Amino acid sequence: MGSALAIQNSIGFAITVVSIATTTAVFEHVGLDATWLLVPGPVLGLVAYAFTLWRPDRNEDAQQMGI
């Protein structure tokens, strides 16, 4: 379990480093509009999280786990 978490963290860190480097490089050419490259990530994350909250079977899963 610990190694899976370490791999997940390293992938997330790599994505962060690449996105910051890309945005910095594009910022020199495009200007402040380069920050719009970073918008899809958090938006997609929020949509995915909202989807998990609004699932109709969520209450059944919680009852089975004793929550």
pLDDT band at residue 51 using 50, 70 and 90 as cut-offs: confident
Annotate 18-40 with b (16+ C-beta within 10 A) or e (fewer). eeeeeeeeeeeeeeeebeeeeee
Please give the full DSSP string across 17-42, using - where no structure is assigned.
Answer: HHHHHHHHHHHHHH-GGGGGGGSHHH
- What's the whole-model pTM score? 0.55
- Interval 41-59 mean pLDDT: 82
Determine the Cα–Cα distance for residues 34 and 30; give it in Å rounded to an integer.
Answer: 6
Token pair belonging to 30: 């495009």
